[in-house]
Amino acid sequence: MARDRKPYLLAALATGTLWVLAWPATGSLTPLAFVAWVPLLWAADRYLHAPRTVGPRHRLQSLKRNQEIAPSSSLKEVDDQEDERKVLTERPRHWLPTVYLAMFLWNACTTFWLGLVDEPWGTRLISGGFPMVANSALMVLPWWIYRATHRRLGPRSAPVALVVSWLAFEHLHFDWDLQWPWLTLGNVFAVRTGWVQWYEWTGALGGSLWVWVVNLLVFQGVLAFRQGRQGLARRTGLLALVSGVVPIGLSFIIDQLRSEAHGPAVEVVVVQPNIDPYTEKFGGIDPLAQLEGMLKLAEGEMTDSTRLVVLPETALQENATIDMQGPVPMLNGLWENDLTKARSYGLIRRFQERFPSAAVLTGMSSAYLYRVGEKPSRTARFLKGIDRYFDAYNAAMLVDERGGVQVYHKSKLVVGVELMPFQAVLEPLMGGISIDMGGTNGSLGSGTERPILHTVDDKVRLVPAICYESVFGDHLAEHTREGANLLAVITNDAWWGDSPGYKQHLAFGRLRAIELRRPIARSANTGISCIIDERGDVLQALPWWRPGAIRAQVHTSDASTFFLEHGDVIGRAATVLGFLLALVLVGLWGMRLFSRARN
CATH of the domain at 307: 3.60.110.10
pLDDT grade, residue 566 (50/70/90)?
A: very high
For residues 314 and 77, the model is more confident at: 314
Residue at a domain's end among 41, 71, 87 = 87
Closest CA to 142 of 574, 489, 442, 588: 574
Q: In angstroms, what CA-CA distances link 273 with 34, 40, 47, 351?
A: 40, 45, 55, 16
Residue type, 350: R
* Better-scored residue on pLDDT, 150 or 259: 150
Could you tell me if 447 and 379 lie in one domain? Answer: yes
Which residue type does 254 have? I
Q: What's the rounded Cα separation, in Å, for the pair 547 and 347?
A: 20
Residues paired with residue 322 on neighbouring β-strands, in sequence order: 331
Per-residue pLDDT, averaged over 237-254, amounts to 97
pLDDT in the model for residue 1:
42
Q: What are the two backbone dihedrals, phi and then psi, of residue 282, each rounded to the nearest 5 degrees?
A: -105, 65
Mean pLDDT value across residues 107-129: 89
CB 178 within 8 Å of CB 132: no
pLDDT in the model for residue 438 = 42
Residues 438 and 458 in one domain: yes
pLDDT at 263: 81
Q: Are residues 417 and 468 in the same domain?
A: yes
Question: Are 65 and 105 found together in one domain?
Answer: no
Is pLDDT of 62 > 70? no
DSSP state of 180: -
Residue 190 sits in the same domain as residue 62: no
Q: Which amino acid, residue 272?
A: Q
pLDDT band at 589 (very low <50, low <70, confident <90, very high): confident
Question: Which residue range(s) make up the domain with 80?
Answer: 54-87
Asked if residue 254 has pLDDT above 80, the reply is: yes
Mutual orientation of helices 130-153 and 569-598 as an angle, nearest 10°?
60
Question: Rounded to two decimals, what is the model's pTM?
Answer: 0.90
pLDDT at 341 over 60: yes
User: What pLDDT, on a 0 to 100 scale, did the predictor assign at position 592?
Assistant: 81
User: How many Cβ atoms are within 10 Å of 227's Cβ, its own excluded?
Assistant: 10
CB–CB of 546/274 below 8 Å? yes
Q: What is the mean pLDDT of residues 575-589?
A: 93
Q: How many CA atoms lie within 13 A of 256 on its CB side?
A: 6
- Band of residue 75 on the pLDDT scale cut at 50, 70, 90: low
Find the range with the poorest average confidence among 132-136, 276-280, 342-346, 595-599.
595-599
- Supply the pLDDT for residue 323: 86
Residues 231, 269 within the same domain: no
Q: How far apart are the first and last CA of the chain?
A: 36
285 found inside a domain: yes
396 is a domain residue: yes
Model confidence at 11, pLDDT cuts 50, 70, 90, reads very high
Across 282-415, where does the E strand assignment appear?
A: 306-310, 321-323, 330-332, 359-369, 381-383, 388-399, 405-409
177 occurs within a structural domain? yes
Whether 507 maps to a domain, the answer reads yes
The residue from 40, 70, 87 where one domain ends is: 87
Q: Which of 60-69, 168-177, 254-263, 467-476 has the lowest mean pLDDT?
A: 60-69
Ranking 47-56, 280-289, 360-369, 533-542 by mean pLDDT, the lowest is 47-56
Same domain, 99 and 239: yes
Q: What is the enclosing helix (H) or strand (E) of 104? A: helix 96-111
Beta-sheet pairing, 461-466 with 486-491: parallel
Region 442-460: what's the mean pLDDT? 90
Residue 85 in this model has a pLDDT that exceeds 80: no
- Both 130 and 270 in one domain: the answer is no
Q: Which of 38, 70, 87 is the last residue of a domain?
A: 87
Q: Please check whether residues 185 and 293 belong to one and the same domain.
A: no
Angle subtended by helix axes 96-111 and 500-516, to nearest 10:
100
Question: 111-119: which pairs have CB atoms within 8 A and are 24 or more residues apart?
Answer: 111/182, 111/183, 111/501, 112/499, 113/496, 113/497, 113/499, 113/500, 113/501, 114/496, 114/501, 116/496, 116/497, 116/499, 116/501, 117/437, 117/495, 117/496, 118/278, 118/495, 118/497, 119/435, 119/437
Q: How many residues does the chain have?
A: 599
pLDDT of residue 439: 40
Sign of CA pseudo-dihedral 401, 405, 408, 409: positive
Separation CA 191–CA 503 (nearest Å): 10
pLDDT band of 80, cuts 50, 70, 90:
very low
170: alpha, beta or left, given left = phi > 0 and alpha = psi -120 to 50? alpha
Domain contains 542: yes
pLDDT at 527 over 60: yes
Report the distance separating Cα 43 and Cα 548, nearest Å.
51
pLDDT at 402 over 80: yes
Given a cut of 60, whether residue 56 has pLDDT beyond it is no
Taking residues 416-424, what's their average pLDDT?
Answer: 76
Task: Quote the number of domains for the chain.
Answer: 3
Averaged over 54-61, what is the pLDDT? 55
Backbone φ and ψ of 9, nearest 5°: -65, -45
Q: Average model confidence (pLDDT) for the chain? A: 90
Q: Is residue 63 part of a domain?
A: yes
Beta strand ranges found along 446-506 (DSSP E): 453-454, 461-466, 486-491
Instruction: Please tell me the predicted confidence (pLDDT) of residue 591.
Output: 85
Q: Tell me which of 314 and 429 has the higher pLDDT.
A: 314
Residue 436 lies in a domain: yes
Residues 79, 99 within the same domain: no
> Is residue 1 in some structural domain?
no
Is the domain of 209 the same as that of 325? no
User: Are 386 and 322 contained in the same domain?
Assistant: yes
> What is the structure's pLDDT at 55?
52
- pLDDT value of residue 495: 92
